[in-house]
Chain A
Amino acid sequence: MSTDHAAPAHSALRHHFDTLDQQRDASLLGMWAFLVTEVLFFGGLFLAYTIYRMSYPAAFAAGSHHLNIVLGCINTAVLIGSSLTMALAVFAAQQGNGRNVARFLLATMFLGTMFLGIKAIEWTHDYEESLIPGLAFDAKIWAHEGMPPLEAKQFAGEGELFFVLYFSMTGLHGAHMIIGMAVMAFYLRPAWHGRYSRDYYTPIEGLGLYWHFVDVVWIFLFPLFYLVGTRGSH
Chain B
Amino acid sequence: MQRAENAMHEYTAAPRIYFIIFAALMILTATTVGVSFIELGQLNLTVALAIAGTKALLVLLFFMHLIHSNRLTWIAIAGAVYFFAIMIVLTISDYATR
A interface residues, Cβ below 8 angstroms from B: 2-4, 7-10, 13, 18-21, 24-25, 28-29, 32-33, 35-36, 39-40, 43-44, 46-47, 50-51, 54-55, 69, 73, 76-77, 80-81, 83-84, 86-88, 91, 94-96, 198-202, 208-209, 212-213, 215-216, 219-220, 222-224, 227, 229-233
- Given A199-B8, A201-B8, A212-B59, 11 additional A-B pairs, CB 8 A: A10-B7, A25-B72, A33-B76, A46-B84, A46-B88, A80-B26, A222-B32, A223-B49, A223-B52, A230-B39, A233-B39
Partner among B6, B26, B44, B69 whose Cβ is within 8 Å of the Cβ of A77: B26
Given the known A-B contacts A20-B7, A24-B10, A39-B80, are A50 and B88 also in contact in the complex, defined by CB atoms under 8 Å? yes
Q: A198-B1, A199-B3 are in contact. Are A219 and B59 (CB under 8 A)?
A: yes
Q: Chain B contact residues: over half helix, strand or loop, or mixed?
A: helix
CB atoms of B33 and A73 under 8 A apart: yes
Contact B64 A209 (CB under 8 A): yes
For A220, the chain B residues whose CB sits under 8 A away are 52, 56
6 contacts between A and B (CB under 8 A): A10-B6, A10-B7, A50-B88, A50-B92, A95-B12, A232-B37
